[in-house]
Amino acid sequence: MTRTFQKPIKRIVVKLGSSQIVDEKFKARRERLNSLARQISLLHKKGIEVVLVSSGAIATGMGELGESRRPTDLGALQARAAIGQAVLMRNYIGSFKKVGLKCAQVLLTWDDFGKDTRSLNVRHTLDALLQKGIVPVINENDTTSTEEIKFGDNDKLSALVAKLLHANLLVILSNVDGLWDINKKVYTEVKEITPEIITVSKGTSNAHVARGGMKTKIDAVQIARAAHIPCIIAGGNVKDVLVKIIAREPIGTYFKV
């Protein structure tokens, strides 16, 4: 069984949650990051541009400080983000260097999507990086922004980036294999966001590591689908997950448009 994409896949946005970046002890999942870089290198050779939207700054900062529980104070969270973002980028730079690629840090806030001039500037910057074969690594600017820390996750950000860049596909890599139905069976394909889909979309059970859960992922899917961008939610632990998705293997849950 293979999937059918309505348009050729030339540009994709890949969102990584904190659980894909660090393990339960808040240490970097270096093998997973190395695998991700290798897969992106293979996609580049197929002429596919890849943009990463990466969470993990706060969790990485906690790991650097030897902490095991996420702080609740805003200032403490922003301090962890400041520590972790530098380490996070160092890890990405190292992984991409192994496969001959370069990456660039792009920190955004919600204001960057609120005004035409600012959003256009963001798009021009990202387009320029992609034209040079450089992988943009986008995160919300957690050291100054309060929205992600207080309310959400980078799922919505990834959908907004996909919309801004007219991506052909949004891939959200999670710690689950896709969207589960009430019987814990993964939906292979979703054609419409029904009340049933909303019902089975829950928040995270891993709140000491991350924010969001399936609910924010479905919110992101709705934003992307409104812009006619198909989405896939899949497990980040699946071997060669991006390569398999591009090869149209039925990995995760496919939200058609």
SS3 107: strand
Residue 3 lies in a domain: no
Strands, E assignment, 87-201: 103-108, 135-140, 169-174, 189-190
> Is residue 173 situated within a structural domain?
yes
The predicted pLDDT at position 79 comes to 93
**Residue numbers of the domain that contains 65:** 11-255
Ramachandran region of residue 228, left (φ > 0), alpha (ψ -120 to 50) or beta?
left
In a domain, 6, yes or no: no
What radius of gyration do the chain's Cα atoms show?
A: 17
- Rounded Cα distance, 102 and 100, in Å: 7
Task: Tally the domains of the chain.
Answer: 1
Q: What is the DSSP letter of 28?
A: B
Strand 189-190 and strand 253-255: the pairing is parallel
The CATH number assigned to the domain holding 237 equals: 3.40.1160.10
Strand partners, 11: 49
Q: What is the DSSP letter of 133?
A: T
Q: Which helix (H) or strand (E) element contains residue 232?
A: strand 231-235
Residue 2 counted as domain residue:
no
How does DSSP classify residue 177?
Answer: S
Do the Cβ atoms of 165 and 158 come closer than 8 Å?
A: no
Q: What is the number of other CB atoms lying within 10 angstroms of the CB of residue 74?
A: 11
Alpha-carbon torsion angle 251, 39, 123, 217, nearest 10: 30
Inter-helix orientation angle 57-64/74-98, to 10°: 100
Per-residue pLDDT tens listing for the chain (257 residues)? 789 998 999 999 999 999 999 999 999 999 999 999 999 999 999 999 999 999 999 999 999 999 989 998 888 999 999 999 999 999 999 999 999 999 999 999 888 887 788 899 999 999 999 999 999 999 988 666 655 544 356 899 999 999 999 999 999 999 889 999 888 899 999 999 998 898 888 755 454 444 558 989 999 999 999 999 999 999 999 999 999 999 999 999 999 99
* 196, part of any domain: yes
202 falls within a domain: yes
Name which of 56, 54, 57, 58 is nearest 77 in CA terms. Answer: 58
Dist. CA 229–CA 223, nearest whole Å: 9
Residue 5 lies in a domain: no
| Residue 95 within a domain | yes
Q: How far apart are CA 195 and CA 191, in angstroms?
A: 13
pLDDT at 74: 86
122-134 confidence digits (pLDDT tens): 999 999 999 999 9
Looking at residue 111, the DSSP 8-state letter turns out to be G
